Amino acid sequence: MKLTTNVKAKTGLWKFLPKIISTKTAQCVYPFIFLPEHIYKDLISRTPKPESIAVLLHEKVHLERQKRKGIFLWAILYIISPKFRFNEELLAFKEQIKYLKKLNLTLDLELRAKRLSSWLYLWCVSYEKALTKLKKL
Ligand SMILES: [Zn+2]
């Protein structure tokens, strides 16, 4: 598929960050979306995997929310408020899961709950709460 120019692969300096950040997670910093290289390459191929498209949809929710609130305010709230951070992630996961569900696919919710309750998301929520909420989406 064709991607807009604001969507980038995590190359260059990203490689100096912990491997889980450069290879497993995507980030949105309005107006850009940064994707792990393998997901980016899959998306620009002729037959991208639904899982890759779902990641892009997740990041597009962040992009839209950052645009609406203003990236500066959004980023501050995201950093200082665990509640805001968790809520923003739930909104993004909701779109991701909705898309996968239509194709009879699922997301590994235990893994997502594990990540949300870890340093990756600055411990925004407990594992149990994350899993409960993700299951309700
Ligand atoms: Zn997210």
Q: Are 107 and 115 in contact (CB under 8 A)?
A: no
Question: Could you tell me the distance, in angstroms and rounded to a whole number, from the CA of residue 92 to the centre of ligand 1?
Answer: 6
C-alpha of residue 105 to centroid of ligand 1, in Å: 19
38 is a domain residue? yes
Q: Which amino acid is at 60?
A: K
56 is a domain residue: yes
pTM over 0.75: yes
In the prediction, which pLDDT does 22 show? 83
Q: What is the pLDDT of residue 14?
A: 85
Q: Structural domain tally of the chain?
A: 1
| Domain region containing 66 | 7-136
Q: Calculate what percentage of the chain has a pLDDT beyond 70.
A: 100
Ligand 1 (ion): which residues have CB within 5 A? 89, 92
Q: How far is CA 42 from CA 2, 13, 33, 49, 122, in A?
A: 11, 21, 15, 7, 29
In the reported structure, the alpha carbon of residue 58 is separated from the centroid of ligand 1 by a whole-number distance in angstroms of: 6
1 occurs within a structural domain: no
Residue 40 C-alpha to ligand 1 middle, in angstroms? 16
> pLDDT, tens digit, for every residue of 27-46?
999 999 999 999 999 999 99
Say how many Å lie between the CA of residue 88 and the centre of ligand 1: 7
So what's the pLDDT on residue 23? 87
Q: Is residue 2 part of a domain?
A: no
pLDDT tier at 15, thresholds 50, 70, 90: confident
Pick the range with the lowest mean pLDDT from 10-24, 62-76, 109-123: 10-24
| Cα separation, 20 vs 118, whole angstroms | 12
In a domain? residue 34: yes
What is the average pLDDT score of the chain?
Answer: 96
**Inside any domain, residue 82:** yes
Q: How many CB atoms lie within 10 A of CB 45?
A: 11
